[in-house]
Structure formats: structure tokens, C-alpha cells
Copies of this chain bind each other. A is one copy, B any other.
């Protein structure tokens, strides 16, 4: 092997032109993949101020060095574009088999430009690509579209990334659905597909990706096989929502639009209960022995098919406790509806929960809700509202705009409890039990986001080993002191890096073994230093993208609800103090080398990260601080 390189597929739907680019090795080593690729292309190729739902936006599906390698945790891919939900850097993570298939088809990323004249889908097979008519698929739910594509291409092993009617109708938080049961939910990437009349991507490939050190990789595969039961057995047993009850007992389960931290119905919707009732099987991503994926079957009163998967923790909480709903079957059905229509379960749940609070407070009535009694705990109303959002029907048409725009329309103070940052709905993690989280929510380029921000105490998950980064003592979750700010920064850089790798944060590799994996695959002899800088680089490039779009420090807000003390429960009285938060936020900016006023990375930071061209780009648009 002479170096680690690959291919990027570029498809222009306006012109029909398909081309293949082969960046040099240093491009791969500078950005690795995922978020790094997306930030690079969006900064290089999107003029500022474009309409995210117009033809100038670009839809990027990006893999990483681990994608498609026969190693657990390789299944996470990144999907990016300018977000129609936030008008900022948009990025979402998705699991499954589609990425591995794409890598085996010969590509590290797809860039889709322009807009098709009629509904289309992309068919990628073994190094080639073809734009195909999807007129007959337009309007179909994802499952029907998926089946039709496999049928017409005559291959039942084809993998798909699709949108349903929600994406077609430009629901601002429409997701991209991979193989029907893995959702790239956040920042409305499904709406970007819809705006391009791109129904989906179908992929088939047969070439195993290159690995520099096969034996080195085999050792890690064997290690995982030997340890997966002990280290990740819980995830297999009861899935990502296995800890939901404990979270409620500790006062940190988002409940009734973040008004509370404990939910009286938690036990009925925990992963353990799901396991013991409706679970019909366990799924995985490509080559992964963890099997955290749920498959559920419900016959009545709703019909839920295992093919759509079962609710993850985020979905369970957002459609459950967040809406005060403890009806597991209803949640599973709503989860299926989100898959069928291609809606983000988090945003959808937050929108419904928000509407419920509006309803209970009398800001909206049955007249507004098409007759639905939209109270917390009304499972049937929740289900119906999800369907209305997917159809953009009645009140659902307003909620399909997301909680920020809906609250602007409803007004009457509802803006105060519309749980979003930069327009993206807050995920199911409570800053009042993990103070550092609020910094992550406020400053994430994608708006309120959990993937890169959920850690707060040292030594958890793949960042359990912060010692290797020089953080030698664990820190209490309920502090926002300078040490916590530092730890939050390290966590976020690492998490963004893991995204660039295409690796799953749930795998128990830890920092050192993650490095070894990358070296086995690429032969680079990279270090944690270089890797941390890759994460930091990608994050800063996304911040630079937002600065170019006009975002400033004013957009990095802490939510008032999180600085309001819990009225009851085990965390009664606990809040993230506003002054404490502002102080921590300022320190975080300074640690990061971000300008206090504009929130943009300084030239010094960008040069230090080796991307002077990003500084030039900001300077060109008058957005470089100083």
C-alpha cells in the first residue's frame, strides 16, 4: 500500500453530471472523514446566505477511515448540509449498513449538488453511480420505497438511505432513514434531500476497504469479541434505554417539556420493560457484536413491525416522558411513524411536548389542534400529532416548522419554553444533572445536540480514560468550574473526532485502542495529539461556517428553563445558575480561542489548526475576528 487515499463521488442533480474526485492523502489525514469532510466542503463550496432548501445547498454523505472495516463500531456515518432547521452548519450521525456498503462500492463520501427536475434516486454500485427516476416512489413511505427499489434493481441486499413524505414535504426536522431502522435525525437533512427531489440513495458494493495492518486489526477484533459481553452486555440486553428508569430516579429524565426530571411512568417505558414485553429481536450495524439495536412487534392497538426497529433512548424519552406518555406501545408506534415519514424523533417529540405545554397553559386550544386534547400523557394525541407533522396537515403543518418557528407563531410567552438552541430542539439530556452539557448545547455549531455533548463526568464510555489526556481526577457532574470547562472541551473535541473516524461512541475501545484502530487501518502512525486536533479542527471549521453565515456569540444561549430550579424530585432546587453559566461560557470561548463577541475562531486558532484557508475565507467575508 502506498498511502491511505480514496474517492469522493460528486453528483449534480441539475446537470446530471457525475464525477469522481481523488483527493491526496494529506486531505484524508487532515480531516479524516465525517464532520471533517462536511465542514471542508461546505466552507469551500457553499456561498454564504444560500437557502438551505434551494439548489445551492449541498448534501454530503461522509464516511470515515473505519467505515466498512469488519470491526464493531464501524457503522456510523455523517450526513451534512446547511441546515433548514437552524440555517447553520447541519450534521447528523446515522448507523446501519449503508456506509459500509458505500465504502465497499468504492467511495468515502458523496456530494449531491443542485436540484433534480423530477423525483430521482441515486443508484451506486461498485464504483459507478446513476441518477434514476423516482417519480413512482414520490409520496411513498420509506418502507414501500425501500422495497420498490430493491425490487426494481433486482437485489435484495441493496442498502438504502431514504426519505418518506416528511422529507418530501420539507418538514424542517425530517430525517434520513437508513435501511428503515437507522435514522440520521438531527438538523433536517431529510428536508435537504426533499428539496433536491432526491428520494434516496441505493448502494451495493463488493470491495473490502484497504487495511494497512490486517493482523493489528484482527487483534482488536479479537479483543472486542472477548470483552464485548462484559463491557457492552447491558446495551445488548436492554438497549440504549436500559438506564431510563435510573435516570428518572436520579432526577435527570427529561419530563413534560423539561419541567421535571423524574417521570412517574418511567418503569413502564424503560428498556428493561421493552425487553420483557414487545421486544422481538436485536439488531446491529455492520460487523458489530454489540447489538444495541431494538426490534419490536406490536399487534394492537397499533401495528408495529420489527422492520422499522424499536425506539432508542432518545425516541423513548422524547415521545414518552417528555410528552408525559407512559404507553410503550404508543411510543413504539410513534417511533415507527417517524421512520415511515422520515421525521427526527427527538425534534418531533419536543414539538409535541411543547404544544402540550402550550395547550395546558391555554395558549392554544382544540381549535388550533384540529380537535386533539393535546395534554401531557395523552398517548393517542401524541401519535396523531406525529402523523399530522409527517403529513404537514393542520396543526402538524406548524409543528413541522420546528419548535422555534412554532413558538414565534404562537407567541404569548411560549418562546420561553420552546426548548431549542439555534432552532434545533434539545435532545433528551438534562443539563441540571450534567452541568457541562449546557456549554455543549449552547455552543454546538448544529444547535442543541447530544452526540458530541452527553459526557459530563470523567471516565465514561469511550472517553472514560481522560487520564490519557492529562485530566487526572474525576469531576463532579454538578459543577461548572474551570476544570469542568476544560473537560467539556476535551470531551467535545474527542467526540467530534470520533465522528470524523466514523466510529460509534458506544464501543468500549477507549482512547488508546481507538488510536490503534486508526493506525491499523491507515498505517499513519497517528497520535492522540494529532487526533484531538482533527476533532478540534472540524469543530472550529463548523463554527467558522456559522460565523460566515452571520451567527455570533448571541446565538450561543443557555435556556432559561435550565436555570430554573427543579420544583420537586430528587434534584429539587437544582439549577444551572445563569451567572455561573455565563462565566463558564466565557472561559470556554477563551480556552477555545474564540472571539468573545462574534464567537468565531480567531485567526490564531485557525492557523494553529493548520487551516489558514479558513481564516482567509472569513477575512474575505469580513467575519474574521480582530
| Chain A residues in the interface with B (C-beta under 8 A) | 26, 29-30, 467-473, 482-483, 485-486, 489, 511-512, 515, 524-530, 532-534, 587, 590-591, 593, 602-605, 607-608, 610, 612
Contacts and interface: CB of A to CB of B under 8 A. Distances in A.
Given A468-B525, A482-B603, A528-B529, 10 more contacts: A29-B470, A30-B472, A469-B527, A471-B610, A472-B610, A486-B610, A527-B527, A527-B528, A587-B603, A591-B608
19 contacts: A26-B472, A26-B473, A30-B470, A468-B530, A469-B533, A470-B530, A470-B533, A471-B610, A482-B603, A486-B610, A512-B525, A515-B527, A527-B527, A527-B528, A527-B529, A529-B532, A587-B603, A590-B603, A591-B593
B527 A610 contact: no
Contacts of A603: 482, 587, 590
B607 A486 contact: yes
A512 B528 CA distance: 11
A515 B515 CA distance: 14
Nearest to A512: B525
Contacts of A534: 470
Nearest to A486: B608
Contact of A489 (B471, B533, B608): B608
A299 to B, nearest CB: 52
A254 to B, nearest CB: 30
Nearest to A26: B472
Nearest to A607: B482
A604 B486 CA distance: 9
Interface pairs A-B: 6 shortest CB-CB: A590-B604, A482-B607, A527-B528, A528-B529, A470-B530, A529-B529
Q: Which residue, A30, A482, A602, A603, has most C-beta atoms of chain B within 10 A?
A: A482
Contacts of A605: 591
A590 B602 contact: yes
Nearest to A470: B530
A608 to B, nearest CB: 5
A610 B486 CA distance: 8
Contact of A483 (B489, B512, B612): B612
Contacts of A587: 603-604, 607
A527 B527 CA distance: 7
Given A591-B604, A602-B590, A512 B486 contact: no
Contacts of A593: 590-591, 593
Contacts of A525: 467-468, 512
A592 to B, nearest CB: 9
Given A527-B528, A602-B590, A607 B511 contact: no
Contact of A468 (B26, B473, B527): B527
A29 B605 CA distance: 27
Nearest to A29: B472
A347 B422 CA distance: 60
Contacts of A482: 603, 607, 612
A418 B486 CA distance: 43
Contacts of A468: 525-527, 529-530
Nearest to A524: B467
Contacts of A30: 470, 472
Contacts of A524: 467
A486 B606 CA distance: 10
A388 to B, nearest CB: 48
A536 to B, nearest CB: 10
A534 B524 CA distance: 24
A558 B29 CA distance: 35
A26 B474 CA distance: 13
Contact of A530 (B469, B486, B610): B469
